[in-house]
Amino acid sequence: MKYLLALTLMVACAIANAQVSPDTLFNPILYSPVYARGTGPEIHVDAAHNNYHTASDRFAPFSRVLQNDGYKISENKTPFNSSAMADIHLLVISNALNEINLGNWSNPCPSAFTESEILVLKNWVSNGGKLLLIADHMPFSGAAQKLASAFGFELCNCFAMDNRRRTAELFMRSDSTLIPSELTDGGSAYQKVDSIFTFTGSAFKIPAEAIPIIKLKNYSLLSPSQAWQFTDDTPYEQSENYFQAAALKFGKGKIVLMGEAAMFTAQLAGNQKIGMNSPNAKYNVQLLRNTISWLVK
pLDDT at 61: 98
DSSP 59: T
Gap between the Cα atoms of 70 and 36, Å rounded: 5
Q: Give the CA distances from residue 167 to residues 159, 208, 217, in Å, rounded to whole numbers and listed in that order.
A: 11, 30, 14
pLDDT at 13: 41
pLDDT at 16: 41
If one counts every other C-beta atom within 10 angstroms of the C-beta of residue 223, the result is 17
Q: Give the CA distances from residue 14 to residues 10, 160, 166, in Å, rounded to whole numbers and listed in that order.
A: 6, 18, 14
Question: What is the sign, positive or negative, of the torsion defined by CA atoms of 220, 225, 226, 229?
Answer: negative
Gap between the Cα atoms of 33 and 8, Å rounded: 39
Strand partners, 75: 45
118: Cβ–Cβ under 8 A, 6 or more apart, which residues?
Answer: 111, 146, 147, 150
Gap between the Cα atoms of 261 and 103, Å rounded: 19
If one counts every other C-beta atom within 10 angstroms of the C-beta of residue 183, the result is 23
Gap between the Cα atoms of 134 and 262, Å rounded: 10
Gap between the Cα atoms of 41 and 253, Å rounded: 16
pLDDT at 165: 65
Strand-pair category, 236-238 with 243-250: unpaired
HEC secondary structure over 28-49: CCCCCCCCCCCCCCEEEEECCC
pLDDT at 163: 81
Return per-residue pLDDT of the chain as tens, 297 residues.
Answer: 444 444 444 454 444 445 789 999 999 999 999 999 999 999 999 999 999 999 999 999 999 999 999 999 999 999 999 999 999 999 999 999 999 999 999 999 999 999 999 999 999 999 999 999 999 999 999 999 999 999 999 999 999 998 876 667 899 999 999 999 999 999 999 999 999 999 999 999 999 999 999 999 999 999 999 999 999 999 999 999 999 999 999 999 999 999 999 999 999 998 899 999 999 999 999 999 999 999 999
pTM, to two decimals: 0.94
Would you list the DSSP string of 163-209? Answer: TTS-SSEEEEGGGTSB--SHHHH-SSGGG---EEEE-S--EEE--TT
Question: In CATH terms, is domain 2-23+35-167+200-273 a member of 3.30.70?
Answer: no
